Amino acid sequence: MIKIAVFAAEGCEEIEALTVVDILRRAGMETDIISLTENKAVTGSHNIVFGAEKRFDDIDMNDYDAAILPGGMPGTKNLATHTGVCSTVKSFAANGKLLAAICAAPSVLGELGVLEGKKAVCYPGFENHLVGAEVLLNGVFTDGNIITSRGMGTAIDFALAIVEYFSDKTIADELSKAIIYK
């Protein structure tokens, strides 16, 4: 079974985190919300408190097939300064595991050098952080093992792109239809 980690940094954009978790679980993918702090309670960028199932310090990222980085502020800054997240991003990139980042979070991938030679998208104003990437304006873009997305309004498309990555377009389209999307 596919196992996915969604990093829930303090100050993350709640919809970008929780929409992805919801869609991936509907697709039958084992998806864990991972807190980056000592607490399993995470406060998002709009002061919405939600619960993570696990704490980063208690897991082995080698058990996961994908790492998802929701954006938001200061969530993106908290991702970028978390040594475990940074080492996971570098390791997953080197080993061809899926990295998916939305909104400002693709900047973390860019600053760590994993977007070199890739095409990527991000929240407007963060383009200069996509170091080495060809920056596009698509809502969501998949380039090999990297999926990036522009923001909260693209969260469902982003989640469906992850479903398609691990299954196929037919399954993603069926899920889209089941949730009355597009």
Cα–Cα distance between 70 and 30 in angstroms, integer? Answer: 17
Please, what is the angle between helix 169-178 and helix 155-166, to 10°? Answer: 140
Q: Which of 12, 86, 103, 122 is catalytic?
A: 103
Amino acid at 177: K
Per the CB < 8 A criterion, the answer to whether 108 and 79 are in contact is yes
Cα–Cα distance between 70 and 127 in angstroms, integer? Answer: 16
User: Is 103 known to be catalytic?
Assistant: yes
Structure token digits, residue 103: 């909104």
Residues 6+ apart with CB under 8 A from 170: none
Please identify every residue annotated as catalytic: 103
